[in-house]
Structures are given as C-alpha cells and as structure tokens.
C-alpha cells in the first residue's frame, strides 16, 4: 500500500507538471495547427497520463485519456485539422482530466466525474473527420497506429517501421529516429534521476519503470509516420529549430539541463529555513544595537574596531543570506501567467470579442507564497478587462480602433517591489459614470462624489457591491470580483494603482513587496509605546506645530502643501492613555494607500528598521489595526500597524487631537480636597521617611512611600497613582536618586513631574548632577519642617484654601 | 528452584503491575494561588514557568489580556488570571510568575500570584465541578480534595481559548 502511495504521489506530481504547460501549448496550437513539435508534446502528455493511470487502475481517467490520445494522434498525422470547434472539445477533455487528477489527489480514486459525454464528442471527432479526410492516410497504416496505442509489443514496432523506411529518404529517417530515441532516452533518464532524487529508493523503483519501459519503445515508431513526405519533414524540422527558442518546447534540450541544475525540495524545509533566517535577522539587529552601546561606553578602545568589523561582516552576510534564501523561494510569475492565454481564448469565444493577450516579463520572480496569492486577483482583473474594458469588434471599428483588442500583462521589478501591470486598450473608465453608479447603489453620497478626485473615483470599482455592468453575465457583473482583488492584494501588503483615459484604455498596476516575511518599517513612538508602520505605505513624515491642526466637522485636518490632509492620533486608534506632554510640536506620518491618504500623528519618530513579521497567534489574531508583531533589538515586542485597517478605523475616530488634551490636563489639575494631592517619598531610611511624613502631615496631602529607586520606578510604572511631585533621597541601595530621576524623565508622561532631591550631600558637583538628572529642587538635610512643606506646596501648586 | 524463581518473578510482576496501576490513578498537577484560592493545572500542560518581565500592551482586547511578550523569539499572549477571574488586580511582587501553558498549538502566558507546589493526587480524589458552575463554558475541570483543603483544577484548553 505504501509503495502504491509513493508511486501515486510520483504520478500526481508528474501529471500536474505536464498539465501546467499543456494549456498554453494548446492555445498556441490553435494558432499554429501544423506545429508538429507542439502536437507531439501534447500527445505525449495524454499518452503518459494514460499509461500511468492504467497501471494504477484509474479506469475513468484511462478511458478519457485514451480517446483524447486518439484525436490527438489523428491530428498529429495530419488526418485531422485542429479547428476551434475541435479545440473546444479537446480543451474540455483536458479540463476533465484535470478534475480527475484533482479527485485522485484528494480521494485516491477517480470516481464521481462523468466523462461519457466528452468521450462521445472525442469519438465523433476522430471518426467523423476521419471519414471526410481519409484520403491522406493509408488505412492499414492507420490500423497499425491504432494498435500501437493499445500498448504494442516491440515486434509490432518493427513492423510499422518497415513500410516507413520505404517511403522516406534513408538518412532522413535515420536522423529522425535517432533524434526521437535520444530524446526519449534522455527524458527517461531525467525522470529516473528525478525519482531517485525525490527519495524513492532504488529497489522500489522497478515496478514503475518496468511498466513504463515498453511504452517509450513503441513511442518513437508512430512519430516518423506523419513525416512520410520527406521534403515536408525537413521543412518542419527547420521550423522547429527556429521556434524552439521562442516556444522552448523541445524537451530534448530542456530535460538534461533540468537534471543538472535543479533539485526538488519540500517547501516546508524552505519555510523552516526562512524562519531561521528571520531569527538570525533579529539577532543581527540586536548585535548592532549592542555594538552601538559598547561603542558609546568604551570609546577609543582598541578592541572596538575588531568588534565593529565582526559586526559588520555578520550583518553583511546575514543580509546576503537572507536574499539568497528569499531567492530560493522565488518562482517566476510566468507560472501564474501561463493560464491566462487559455482564459482569454475562452472569454473571447464566450463574449464574441476579439482579444489578444500580450505577456511580458514572465521571468520576473516572486516569493512562492505571493505567486500563489496573486492568481485569483489577476483572473478577476483580466476577466474585468475583457468584459468591461474591451469593446465589441463593431464598436471598436466605429471608434477607429483595431478590431482586435489588446490586453497587456506585464511584470517587472521596481525597487524592492514587483509591479504587475494589466493594460487594455478598451473604452476606459468613465469617472462620471462611476460616480453615478456608486450614488445609485448607495455606496457614496452625492456630496462625497463631488469632492472626489479622478483617482478616488477609479478606486470605486473596488467597493463591494459596485458593478457597472448593466446585466449580470457569466463573466462578471456581480460586483464581487474587484472587491476580492483589493482584499487579496492588500493582504499581501500590496497596493493598486489605476490610470485610465476614456476611449484609450485602462492601466492597472499591482505593486507587491517581494517577500512577506521581512519588511522595512518606520518605528514611531506614542507615550511609552512603540509601533512599526510598513514603510511601503509611508509617503513622508512632517513635523508640525500643534496650532497647524484645524478642526473641520469634528475631524482634525492639516494643510499639507496644496492639499488638506485629515489627521488622526495614533493614540486614539490604539487606546493609548495620553498624558499631555506639553510639546508644541507633533510628527505626522503621511500614510498613502492607493489614492487614499491619512496623516497619523505620533509623539516621536524612532527610525527605519528591518523587521521580521511574526503572527500574534490564534489567541490574538484579527485585532483591528494590528497586522502582527516583531521582536526588536532589545528583545521587546513591537506591534506592526495594519495600514489598511487603520485607514478604516480612522473614519470612526472623533477628533481628540486638541480637545482631549485639554480635558486630560484639566482632569489632572482638578483637585477638590487636600488629599487629592499625591507625593511620593523615596528614601531607604525609615527615620527619614517618618520625618518627611511628619513635616508634610499638616498639609493633609496623600503620601506614598518607596524604599529605593527601583521600587519607586515600579510604582510609577504601575500607574495606579497620579503623582504631583516626588521627594527623592540620593544615596539608596539598588538604584540611587540620580539614576531614578533620569529614568523617570525618559517617560513622556512624567516629563513635567517635579522631582525634589532631599539629601545630605551638599557638594556643588552633587547639586549639578541633580540638575543634570532632572531634579528641579535640592533640599539638604537637615531641613526645617516648614521649609520642606513650602517647597512641596510651591511645586504641586497647592491651593491655599486647603490650608487649615 | 525453578518454582521459587517463578514465584519471585510473578511476585515482582505483580508489584510492578500495582505500581503501574497506581501511576495510572495518579494525576500530577502544579498548584498556584490567585487571590485567596488555590488552583492547579496538569503538569504536562505547562511548558515553563518564568519570572515576570516586560510585555507589550495590545489594543482592543479585554482588560485581562495584558499584551504580548517575547519568549525566545516567539510572540506569546499574556493573560492576567486575577483580572480574568474578576479579582481586583494588584501589582506584581517577587512571587509573581508567568506560567506558560500549551495545548496543541495554542500557547499563552498566565500571570499568577504565587506558585505552591507540584501535587500528586489520586484520580478518585478528584470530584466533578460543582453543579452550579457546570456546563460547557466553565473553566473548572474538577475539584481535588486534599488533606488541608480543596484545590480547583482548571481546563487548560478553555484557558487558552479566545473568548472575546
């Protein structure tokens, strides 16, 4: 059973690989029906699948592929012309074959799919056409070929070859057979090597090859048959050579090279490798941070240079390694593009339009996970272009355009982004019509419509429920597709840019980051918290003064050059407790997403950093506005902002940029009784604390005690109390007064907290250190109770009416 | 001689079986205190117990989700069990610990007031949760009776389940 499973796996992998190329080949074939090489390739696929599936007892699949093979074989021999109608049936059968293979993959059996109808059609083609055009082929020969396909013996092969020799020039045939044999042998060799590489042990291999071996041998035989007229064969061969670079359809050239240069690796291994690299990048960031710290502390030391060198080498190698591993995960985007020629072909027939697809840049590489994700959005966009973009042939002619519409599908790199561009030369987007439809469907109001720029109006097509189609067709018009496009692309941190001109065409650009796992981010701070914003969405940062912020209809806005930019404070979105920091300035991070713009107000800009995206896990997934988390150089966790969600959230946030500040500060200042005032006393000596308590007792204020700097800091961090001042001793265990003061000043919310040193140190340098660390008063022990009381009163703005 | 040997062997086997069956009957738990109550979770569901350190607040979550912290490169949610059980939160002390629990792929850290000890308790000493708290939503797996009192055994899978 295990052995069977293994063979089945091999079979599936091989079949899916074969089919991938098939769609394109078939469409190509329709344009060039006499391309023998193409026909042979397609025939081979059907044949290989048939052979393997009969061995594996997939009767339905065998039945289907057998009849496909019949038709293709006729075509190969020139007995059958590939007309669009024939092609329709062939394509249908290929679709069925795919469906069957999928079923086999999922259930290990090929039941449940009805192939009868398709087989009948295939039969009709092979028999019906044969009657009409039997003139070309000798009947006996035909029979022999038929037999062959039913798995012939070697003896029969020789028989079939005999008459051929008579009809052909000897050297021609010799060469042809030689070539085909070589090709076949190479392919077999390649296949076997690949199987061994894929981990199939040699002793297990025999069952498959031994079954396959008889088949490759009869194979070369049928191929010479169609080349019966010698001169024609020569011409075709030349054609093939010329075409080979364009089509790259010659497996003989491809197969050996593939074996030498590639190795099949489980994606899981690559994912694991990528995770490890992620960890390494984090460690590198940390190393750089430590290096900076060490540099500061041991300036001028000799070992520093060495350390510097090591750090830069590690950092360089890590970056290279990261790129290298990223590259191993890259796939050419052509893998996705391949399916579009077929799709366009089907659509043109369905819509009765004439459309040509021009693909370029299919070698551009993208991360595997992204390649998998962009397929669906592209399908929607291209369907949309066909249905809504390109006009009917008659309309096009009337408009003076070529009857055939052209859709361009282009991929290229731009910085560390990849751009996929879809152009059509259709009728273009009509801004007024878009607005009108949106108003009708209640997506926007008339007022909003008036204020919209063209770009914003184009973006309307991505709104759920929006559709310009007058009627729902098979192809589009349900108003779902483009919404899916937007969601999918944004999930990849990508953006969509639309340009369009009425009557000329539409151009859509999908800009997608090369990889998902590691991104560049801008780190911003709000109070004591930090957030990372993907740099791809940051347009610019500006520093503004608070009075440049205006309030319009309850929303904060600012003037950015010619435009009005609506603003939102990051603290309002992430529920950060904000205490007025008194700063007159604010930083605005201008976020851009397609046509949308938003100013995000933050307290500080920390800088740009390369971050590794980590998920928050199942427990915390789906939090609005948070895309994930990253681990910083200091080991702390920083949350990554989801710019898309943030833009939506910003719409529902009331302006608090100016108002809440004053409210908050008022709340702080509102004191209704003496005990509302809170002062922390930090001293390691119990006696000293008692003296201070006694001295301040008469004021009736609340006193909180801490025995050293560390404890005091913890109490502050806890945030249970709003202190109006702190009395701090200098000499303390664990953390002294100076350190405590400078630690406290690191926090925005305590920037204006009065710190009063109470100490027996009287030296001038001590006082200076006190001032440097942020103490605003300096009381030397011993002091009088009245003096301490008056200093405290002054610093906490004690209201005189509370004095009893 | 051989009869004696057989006897000894069979005796040994019996003893072993008794030990094994005893092992089967015993549940190993780790006890901890939240507020005034002692709770316990199966020892095998605990990945590690660590001293408190810095965490990062996460917005838009219930109060009992303190945020996330970095456990050797993984980002793990931190849940305050005092807040979750509706007890007034208090500041962390020297005895406060983070217990990192795992159930399948779900991992989270839980803040507890203090650890008590590893407990071995016989299965028959564990009663069902009181009827009043029964139902699918309860966090209580059962109540263990001990010499000095009772201990509430919690369902780890429920603790790790997102309920907001």
Token representation of residue B38? 């002692």
Domain of B115, in residue numbers: 27-159
Judge: A282–B73 Cβ closer than 8 Å, yes or no.
Answer: yes
Q: Return the closest-CA partner of residue A14 out of A105, A136, A149, A83.
A: A105
Q: How confident is the model at residue A803 (pLDDT cuts 50, 70, 90)?
A: low
**Of A224-228, A298-302, A687-691, B42-46, the least confident:** A224-228
Judge: B106–A573 Cβ closer than 8 Å, yes or no.
Answer: no
The C-alpha torsion from A644 through A645 and A648 to A651, rounded to 10°, is: -120
Q: Are residues A476 and A551 in the same domain?
A: no
Q: Return the closest-CA partner of residue B119 out of B85, B94, B152, B92.
A: B152
Cα–Cα distance measured from residue A37 to residue A39, given in angstroms and rounded to the nearest whole number: 5
Q: Are residues A71 and A214 in the same domain?
A: yes
Residues of chain A contacting residue B91, judged by C-beta atoms under 8 Å apart:
714-715, 718, 720
For A384-439, write each residue's pLDDT tens digit.
888 888 888 888 888 888 888 888 998 888 766 788 899 888 888 888 888 888 88
Cα–Cα distance measured from residue A670 to residue A664, given in angstroms and rounded to the nearest whole number: 10
Q: Which of A623, A629, A718 sits opposite B61 (nearest CB)?
A: A623
Judge: A617–B75 Cβ closer than 8 Å, yes or no.
Answer: yes
Greater pLDDT, B163 or A34: B163
What would you report as the CA-atom Rg of chain A, rounded to the nearest whole angstrom? 38
Cα–Cα distance measured from residue A375 to residue A388, given in angstroms and rounded to the nearest whole number: 20
Crossing angle of helices A59-76 and A36-55, in 10° steps, is 160
Domain presence at residue B46: yes
Judge: A623–B57 Cβ closer than 8 Å, yes or no.
Answer: no
Judge: A616–B107 Cβ closer than 8 Å, yes or no.
Answer: no
In terms of C-beta distances under 8 Å and separation of at least 24 residues, what long-range contacts does A491-498 make, across chains too? Answer: A491/A373, A492/A370, A492/A373, A492/A374, A492/A516, A493/A519, A493/A534, A493/A536, A493/A537, A495/A536, A495/A537, A495/A593, A495/A594, A496/A462, A496/A594, A497/A594, A498/A429, A498/A455, A498/A458, A498/A459, A498/A461
Domain presence at residue B1: no
**Of A7-11, A303-307, A678-682, the least confident:** A7-11
CA-based nearest residue in chain A for residue B106: A618
Instruction: Give me the pLDDT at residue A270, please.
Output: 82
Cα–Cα distance measured from residue A107 to residue A89, given in angstroms and rounded to the nearest whole number: 26
| CATH code, domain carrying B63 | 2.40.50.180
Domain of A316, in residue numbers: 267-329
Residues of chain B contacting residue A529, judged by C-beta atoms under 8 Å apart:
56-57
A678, A689, A696, A726 from A705: Cα distances, Å: 11, 8, 13, 10
Greater pLDDT, A202 or B81: B81
A570-604 burial: b if 16+ Cβ within 10 Å, else e = bbbbbebebbbbeeeebbbbbbbbbbbbbbbbbbb
**Residue in the block written with tokens 């050996």:** A256
Instruction: Give me the pLDDT at residue A188, please.
Output: 64
How far off is chain A from B162, nearest CA to CA, in Å?
5
Coil/strand/helix, residue A355: strand
Greater pLDDT, A501 or A201: A501
Q: Are residues A370 and A466 in the same domain?
A: yes
**Of A84-88, A414-418, A776-780, the least confident:** A414-418
- DSSP of chain B, one letter per residue? -HHHHHHHHHHHHHHHHHHHHHHHHEEEEEEEEETTEEEEEEGGGEEEEE-----B--SSS-TTEEEEEEETTEEEEEEEHHHHTTPPP----TT-EEEEEEETTEEEEEEESEEEEEEEEEGGGEEPPPGGG-STT-SEEEEEEETTEEEEEEPHHHHTS---
The C-alpha torsion from A391 through A394 and A397 to A398, rounded to 10°, is: -100
Cα–Cα distance measured from residue A349 to residue A802, given in angstroms and rounded to the nearest whole number: 90
Beta-ladder partners of A637? A631
Maximum average pLDDT range among A545-554, B76-85, B133-142: B76-85
Last residue of a domain, one of A310, A329, A348: A329
Mode of pairing for the β-strands spanning A626-631 and A596-602: unpaired
Instruction: Give me the pLDDT at residue A220, please.
Output: 42
A12, A99, A110, A710, B108 from A105: Cα distances, Å: 7, 10, 9, 63, 37
For A308-358, write each residue's pLDDT tens digit.
888 999 988 988 888 788 778 788 888 888 888 888 888 888 888 888 888
Residues of chain A contacting residue B160, judged by C-beta atoms under 8 Å apart:
619
CA-based nearest residue in chain A for residue B91: A718
Q: Report whether pLDDT(A752) > 70.
A: yes
Last residue of a domain, one of A240, A261, A282: A261
Q: Are residues A622 and A678 in the same domain?
A: no
Token representation of residue A595? 């046509």
Q: Which of B55, B61, B91 sits opposite A620 (nearest CB)?
A: B61
A43, A230, A246 from A235: Cα distances, Å: 21, 9, 18
Tell me the CB-side half-sphere exposure of residue A199, using CA atoms within 13 A.
7
Greater pLDDT, A18 or B112: B112
The torsion angles phi and psi of A467, rounded to 5 degrees, stand at: -155, 140
Beta-ladder partners of A537? none
User: Which contiguous run of DSSP H or E holds residue A279?
Assistant: helix A267-297
Q: Report whether pLDDT(A163) > 60.
A: no
| CATH code, domain carrying A278 | 1.10.287
Beta-ladder partners of B128? none
List all residues 6 or more positions away from A409 whose beta carbon is below 8 Å from its beta carbon: A337, A340, A357, A358, A359, A360, A378, A382, A420, A421, A422
Q: Report whether pLDDT(A159) > 60.
A: no
- DSSP of A452-517, one letter per residue? --HHHHHGGGGSTT----SS--SSS-SS-HHHHHHHHHHHTT-EEEEEEETTTEEEEEEEEES-SS
Coil/strand/helix, residue A413: strand
Total number of domains constituting chain B: 1
Q: How confident is the model at residue A527 (pLDDT cuts 50, 70, 90)?
A: confident
For A100-123, write each residue's pLDDT tens digit.
888 887 777 777 777 777 788 878
Q: DSSP class of residue A215?
A: T
Q: Report whether pLDDT(A255) > 70.
A: no
Judge: A623–B76 Cβ closer than 8 Å, yes or no.
Answer: no
Domain presence at residue B15: no
Token representation of residue A564? 């009005």
Domain presence at residue B71: yes
Coil/strand/helix, residue A60: helix
Judge: B58–A638 Cβ closer than 8 Å, yes or no.
Answer: no
CA-based nearest residue in chain A for residue B104: A618
Q: Return the closest-CA partner of residue B47 out of B85, B121, B104.
A: B104
Q: How confident is the model at residue A285 (pLDDT cuts 50, 70, 90)?
A: confident
Total number of domains constituting chain A: 5
Domain presence at residue B3: no
Q: Report whether pLDDT(A523) > 90.
A: yes
Q: Which of A37, A69, A187, A373 is catalytic?
A: A69
Judge: B77–A617 Cβ closer than 8 Å, yes or no.
Answer: yes
Instruction: Give me the pLDDT at residue A102, please.
Output: 81
What would you report as the CA-atom Rg of chain B, rounded to the nearest whole angstrom? 20
Cα–Cα distance measured from residue A68 to residue A660, given in angstroms and rounded to the nearest whole number: 74
Greater pLDDT, A640 or A217: A640
Mutation target among B54, B58, B92, B163 for the A interface, most CBs of A within 10 A: B58
Measured at the alpha carbon of residue A574, what is the angle toward residues A642 and A744, in degrees to the nearest 5? 120
Cα–Cα distance measured from residue A250 to residue A21, given in angstroms and rounded to the nearest whole number: 12
Residues of chain B contacting residue A715, judged by C-beta atoms under 8 Å apart:
91
Q: Are residues A478 and A550 in the same domain?
A: no
Whether A636 and A546 have beta carbons less than 8 Å apart is answered as: no
Would you mind telling me the total number of residues written for chain A in this entry?
A: 804
The C-alpha torsion from A398 through A399 and A402 to A404, rounded to 10°, is: -80
Cα–Cα distance measured from residue B112 to residue A410, given in angstroms and rounded to the nearest whole number: 57
Domain presence at residue B21: no
pLDDT above 90: percentage of residues in chain A: 2
User: Which contiguous run of DSSP H or E holds residue A731?
Assistant: none
Q: Report whether pLDDT(A583) > 80.
A: no
Identify the burial level of A457 via C-beta atoms within 10 angstroms of its C-beta, where 0-12 means exposed, 13-18 middle and 19 or more buried. Answer: buried
Q: How confident is the model at residue A187 (pLDDT cuts 50, 70, 90)?
A: low
Token representation of residue A34? 């006499």
Q: How confident is the model at residue A522 (pLDDT cuts 50, 70, 90)?
A: very high
Q: Are residues A693 and A658 in the same domain?
A: no
A–B: how many Cβ contacts below 8 A? 72
How far off is chain B from A115, nearest CA to CA, in Å?
43
Cα–Cα distance measured from residue A268 to residue A266, given in angstroms and rounded to the nearest whole number: 5
Q: Return the closest-CA partner of residue A97 out of A26, A2, A200.
A: A26
Residues of chain B contacting residue A619, judged by C-beta atoms under 8 Å apart:
77, 106, 108, 160, 162
| CATH code, domain carrying A104 | 1.20.120.160
Active-site residue flag, A384: yes
Q: Which of A282, A619, A624 sits opposite B108 (nearest CB)?
A: A619
Domain presence at residue B16: no
Domain presence at residue B138: yes
Helices (H), A56-168: 59-76, 84-107, 116-133, 139-149, 154-167
The torsion angles phi and psi of A800, rounded to 5 degrees, stand at: -65, -25
Is A574 part of the contact surface with chain B (CB cutoff 8 Å)? yes
Greater pLDDT, A186 or A401: A401
**Of A98-112, A158-172, A479-493, B81-95, the least confident:** A158-172
Q: Are residues A344 and A488 in the same domain?
A: yes
Instruction: Give me the pLDDT at residue A175, please.
Output: 66
Average pLDDT, chain A: 74
Q: Which of A40, A73, A291, A384 is catalytic?
A: A384
Active-site residue flag, A705: no
Residues of chain A contacting residue B67, judged by C-beta atoms under 8 Å apart:
637
Q: Report whether pLDDT(A533) > 80.
A: yes
Active-site residue flag, A47: yes
Residues of chain A contacting residue B156, judged by C-beta atoms under 8 Å apart:
none
For A652-708, write each residue's pLDDT tens digit.
775 554 444 444 444 445 567 777 788 888 888 888 888 888 888 888 888 888 888
Q: Report whether pLDDT(B44) > 70.
A: yes
Average pLDDT, chain B: 84
Instruction: Give me the pLDDT at residue A593, please.
Output: 78
How far off is chain A from B156, nearest CA to CA, in Å?
13
Q: Which of A529, A637, A715 sits opposite B75 (nearest CB)?
A: A637
Residues of chain A contacting residue B108, judged by C-beta atoms under 8 Å apart:
617, 619
Cα–Cα distance measured from residue A498 to residue A520, given in angstroms and rounded to the nearest whole number: 25
Q: Are residues A200 and A318 in the same domain?
A: no
Q: Are residues A193 and A52 in the same domain?
A: yes
Q: Are residues A639 and A730 in the same domain?
A: no
Section B42-46 average pLDDT: 91
Q: How confident is the model at residue A474 (pLDDT cuts 50, 70, 90)?
A: low
Q: How confident is the model at residue A515 (pLDDT cuts 50, 70, 90)?
A: low
pLDDT above 70: percentage of residues in chain A: 76
Residues of chain B contacting residue A615, judged by C-beta atoms under 8 Å apart:
75
Judge: A529–B56 Cβ closer than 8 Å, yes or no.
Answer: yes
Is A625 part of the contact surface with chain B (CB cutoff 8 Å)? yes
Q: Which of A574, A614, A619 sits opposite B162 (nearest CB)?
A: A619
Last residue of a domain, one of A236, A261, A286: A261
| CATH code, domain carrying A481 | 3.30.565.10
Is A235 part of the contact surface with chain B (CB cutoff 8 Å)? no
Please confirm whether the linkage preceding A782 is cis (ω < 30° from 0): yes
Question: With the C-alpha atoms ordered A83, A85, A86, A91, is the resulting torsion angle positive or negative?
Answer: positive
Whether A588 and A541 have beta carbons less than 8 Å apart is answered as: yes
Q: Are residues A256 and A274 in the same domain?
A: no
Q: Which of A576, A618, A639 sits opposite B162 (nearest CB)?
A: A618
Q: Are residues A406 and A544 in the same domain?
A: no
Token representation of residue A475? 């192809």
């Amino acid at each position: 059973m295990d052995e069977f499973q293994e063979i089945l796996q091999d079979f599936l992998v091989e079949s899916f690989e074969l089919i991938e190329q098939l769609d394109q080949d078939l469409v190509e074939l329709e344009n060039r029906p006499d391309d023998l090489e193409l026909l042979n390739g397609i025939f081979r696929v059907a044949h290989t699948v048939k052979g393997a599936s009969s061995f594996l007892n997939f009767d339905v699949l065998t039945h289907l592929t057998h009849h496909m093979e019949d038709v293709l074989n006729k075509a190969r021999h020139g007995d059958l012309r590939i007309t669009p109608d024939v092609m329709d049936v062939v394509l249908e059968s290929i679709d069925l074959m795919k469906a069957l293979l999928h079923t086999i993959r999922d259930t290990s059996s090929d039941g449940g799919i009805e192939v009868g109808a398709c087989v009948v059609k295939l039969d009709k083609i092979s028999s019906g056409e044969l009657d009409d055009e039997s003139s070309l082929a000798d009947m006996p020969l035909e029979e022999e070929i038929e037999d062959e396909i039913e798995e012939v013996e070697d003896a029969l092969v020789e028989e079939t070859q005999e008459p051929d020799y008579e009809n052909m020039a000897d050297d021609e045939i010799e060469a042809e057979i030689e070539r085909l044999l070589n090709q076949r042998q190479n392919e077999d060799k390649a296949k076997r090597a690949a199987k061994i590489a894929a981990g199939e042990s040699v002793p297990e291999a025999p069952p498959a090859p031994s079954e396959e071996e008889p088949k490759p041998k009869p194979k070369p035989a049928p191929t010479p048959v169609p080349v019966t007229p010698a001169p024609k064969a020569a011409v075709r061969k030349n054609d093939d050579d010329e075409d080979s670079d364009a089509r790259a359809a010659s497996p003989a050239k491809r197969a050996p090279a593939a074996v030498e240069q590639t190795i099949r690796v489980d994606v899981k291994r690559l994912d694991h490798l990528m995770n490890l690299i992620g960890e390494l990048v984090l460690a590198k960031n940390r190393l750089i941070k430590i290096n900076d710290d060490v540099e500061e502390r041991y300036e001028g030391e000799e070992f520093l240079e060495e350390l510097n060198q090591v750090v830069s080498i590690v950092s360089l190698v890590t970056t290279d390694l990261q790129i290298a591993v990223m590259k191993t995960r890259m796939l050419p985007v052509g893998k996705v593009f391949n399916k579009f020629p077929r799709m366009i072909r089907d659509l043109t027939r369905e819509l009765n339009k004439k459309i040509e697809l021009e693909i370029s840049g299919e070698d551009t590489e993208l991360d595997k996970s992204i390649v998998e994700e962009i397929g669906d959005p592209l399908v929607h966009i291209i369907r949309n272009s066909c249905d809504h973009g390109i006009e009917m042939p008659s309309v096009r002619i009337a408009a003076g355009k070529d009857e055939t519409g052209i859709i361009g599908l282009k991929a290229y790199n731009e910085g560390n982004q990849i751009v996929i561009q879809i152009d059509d030369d259709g009728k273009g987007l009509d801004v007024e019509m878009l607005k009108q439809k949106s108003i009708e469907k209640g997506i926007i109001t008339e007022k909003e419509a008036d204020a919209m720029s063209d770009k914003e109006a184009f973006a309307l097509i991505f709104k759920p429920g929006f559709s310009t189609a007058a009627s729902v067709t098979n192809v589009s018009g349900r108003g779902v597709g483009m919404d899916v496009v937007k969601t999918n692309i944004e999930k990849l941190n990508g953006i969509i840019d639309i340009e369009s001109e009425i009557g000329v065409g539409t151009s859509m650009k999908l800009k997608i980051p090369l990889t998902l796992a590691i991104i560049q981010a801008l780190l911003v701070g709000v109070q004591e918290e930090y957030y990372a914003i993907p740099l791809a969405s940051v347009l610019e940062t500006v520093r503004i003064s608070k009075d440049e912020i205006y309030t319009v209809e309850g929303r904060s806005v600012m003037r950015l050059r010619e435009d009005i930019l609506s603003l939102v404070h990051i603290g309002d979105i992430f529920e950060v407790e904000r205490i007025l920091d008194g700063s007159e300035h604010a930083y605005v991070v201008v976020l851009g997403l397609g046509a949308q713009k938003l100013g995000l107000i933050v307290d500080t800009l920390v800088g740009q950093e390369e971050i590794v995206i980590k998920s928050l896990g199942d427990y915390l997934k789906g939090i609005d506005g948070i895309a994930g988390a990253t681990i910083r150089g200091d080991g702390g966790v920083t949350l990554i902002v989801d710019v898309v969600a943030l833009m939506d959230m910003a719409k529902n946030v009331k302006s608090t940029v100016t108002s809440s500040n004053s409210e908050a500060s008022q709340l702080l200042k509102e004191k209704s009784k003496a005990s509302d005032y809170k002062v922390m006393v930090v001293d390691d000596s119990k006696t000293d604390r008692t003296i201070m308590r006694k001295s301040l007792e008469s004021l009736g204020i609340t006193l909180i005690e801490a025995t050293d700097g560390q404890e005091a800091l913890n109490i502050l961090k806890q945030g249970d109390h709003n202190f109006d001042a702190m009395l701090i001793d200098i000499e303390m265990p664990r953390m002294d007064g100076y350190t405590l003061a400078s630690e406290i000043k690191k926090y925005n919310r305590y920037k204006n907290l009065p710190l009063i040193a109470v100490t027996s140190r009287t030296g001038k340098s001590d006082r200076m250190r006190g001032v440097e660390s942020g103490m605003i008063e300096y009381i030397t022990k011993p002091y009088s109770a009245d003096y301490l009381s008056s200093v405290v009163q002054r610093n906490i703005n004690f209201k005189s009416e509370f004095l009893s | 001689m051989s009869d004696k040997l057989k006897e000894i062997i069979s005796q040994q086997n019996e003893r072993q079986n008794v030990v094994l069956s005893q092992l089967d009957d015993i549940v190993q738990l780790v006890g901890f205190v939240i507020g005034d109550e002692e709770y316990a979770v199966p020892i095998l569901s605990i990945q590690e117990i660590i001293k408190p350190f810095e965490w990062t607040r996460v917005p838009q979550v219930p109060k009992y989700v303190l945020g996330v912290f970095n456990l050797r490169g993984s980002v793990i949610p931190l849940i305050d069990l005092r807040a979750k059980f509706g007890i007034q939160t208090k500041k962390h002390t020297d005895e406060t610990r983070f217990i990192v629990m795992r159930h399948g792929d779900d991992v989270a850290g839980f803040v507890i007031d203090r650890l008590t000890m590893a407990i071995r308790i016989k299965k028959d000493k564990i009663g069902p949760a009181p009827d009043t708290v029964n139902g699918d939503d309860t966090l209580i797996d059962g109540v263990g009776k001990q010499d000095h009192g009772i201990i509430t055994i919690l369902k780890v899978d429920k603790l790790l389940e997102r309920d907001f």
